[in-house]
C-alpha cells in the first residue's frame, strides 16, 4: 500500500510538467495540486524545494495575470506592463528549472487578454454606434447623455475604434446643434447653484453688449 501511494504521488508530481499555462483556471488548479503535493512529499527536501519554487512561480503568474487583466490600463500601459512582467519573471526564475517556460506564459497571457480587450472594445463601440442610429428620435437630454458616454471611452478602446468614435461624436454634436437650446438647458440644470448664477450673469452681460 505504501509503495502504491508513493507511485501515485510520483505520477502526480510528473503530471505537473505536462500542462501549458494558458488560463487562470489552469494555474489555480496547478497551484492547488502543488500545495497538496508539498504536504505529500513532506520530509523529501529536494522535492519540497522544487515544489516550493513551482508554488512561488504560480503565485507570481497569477498575480501577473491579474495585473494584465485590469481594464483601467490603456493599450500603451498594457504593452509596457506585459514587457515589464516578462523581464521580471525571467529575472525571478533565473537558471532554475521549471516545468513551464515562464516568460512564454506571460507572453501568452498578454496575447489572450489582449484579444479579450479587443473584443470588449468592439462591443463598446458597437453599443455607442447602435445608440447613435436612434439620435433622430432622442430628446435633448438623452442625446446629451449619449454625448457624455461617447466622450468618456474606456481605456481598452483600440485606436481604430477611437477613430470610429471621433466620427460618432461629430454625429452626436451635429444632432445636438439642432437641439442647442434644449441641450444648453440640460447642461444648465447640471450646474451647481453658484455656477448657475455666474452663467446667468455672463448671459446678461452678453445680451447687454449686443
- Percentage of residues in the chain having pLDDT higher than 90: 43
CA distance 30 to 99: 11
Q: How far apart are CA 152 and CA 166, in angstroms?
A: 12
**pTM of the model as a whole:** 0.76
15-28 pLDDT tens trace: 676 667 778 888 89
pLDDT surpassing 70 at residue 67:
yes
Spatial distance between the Cα atoms of 78 and 21, rounded to a whole number of angstroms = 20
pLDDT tens per residue, range 157-180: 999 999 999 999 999 999 888 877
Amino acid at each position: 500500500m505504501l509503495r502504491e501511494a508513493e507511485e501515485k504521488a510520483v505520477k502526480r508530481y510528473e503530471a505537473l510538467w505536462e500542462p501549458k499555462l494558458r488560463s487562470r483556471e489552469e494555474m489555480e488548479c496547478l497551484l492547488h495540486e502543488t500545495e497538496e503535493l508539498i504536504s505529500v512529499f513532506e520530509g523529501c527536501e529536494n522535492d519540497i524545494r522544487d515544489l516550493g519554487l513551482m508554488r512561488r512561480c504560480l503565485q507570481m503568474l497569477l498575480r501577473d495575470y491579474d495585473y494584465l487583466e485590469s481594464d483601467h490600463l490603456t493599450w500603451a500601459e498594457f504593452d509596457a506592463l506585459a514587457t515589464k512582467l516578462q523581464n521580471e519573471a525571467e529575472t525571478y526564475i533565473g537558471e532554475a528549472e521549471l516545468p513551464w517556460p515562464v516568460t512564454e506564459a506571460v507572453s501568452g497571457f498578454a496575447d489572450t487578454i489582449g484579444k479579450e480587450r479587443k473584443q470588449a472594445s468592439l462591443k463598446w463601440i458597437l453599443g455607442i454606434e447602435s445608440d447613435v442610429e436612434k439620435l433622430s428620435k432622442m430628446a435633448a437630454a438623452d442625446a446629451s447623455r449619449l454625448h457624455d458616454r461617447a466622450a468618456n471611452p474606456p481605456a481598452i478602446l483600440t485606436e481604430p475604434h477611437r477613430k470610429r468614435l471621433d466620427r460618432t461624436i461629430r454625429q452626436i454634436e451635429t444632432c445636438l446643434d439642432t437641439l442647442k437650446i434644449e441641450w444648453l438647458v440640460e447642461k444648465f440644470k447640471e450646474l451647481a447653484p453658484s455656477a448657475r448664477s455666474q452663467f446667468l450673469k455672463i448671459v446678461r452681460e452678453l445680451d447687454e453688449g449686443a
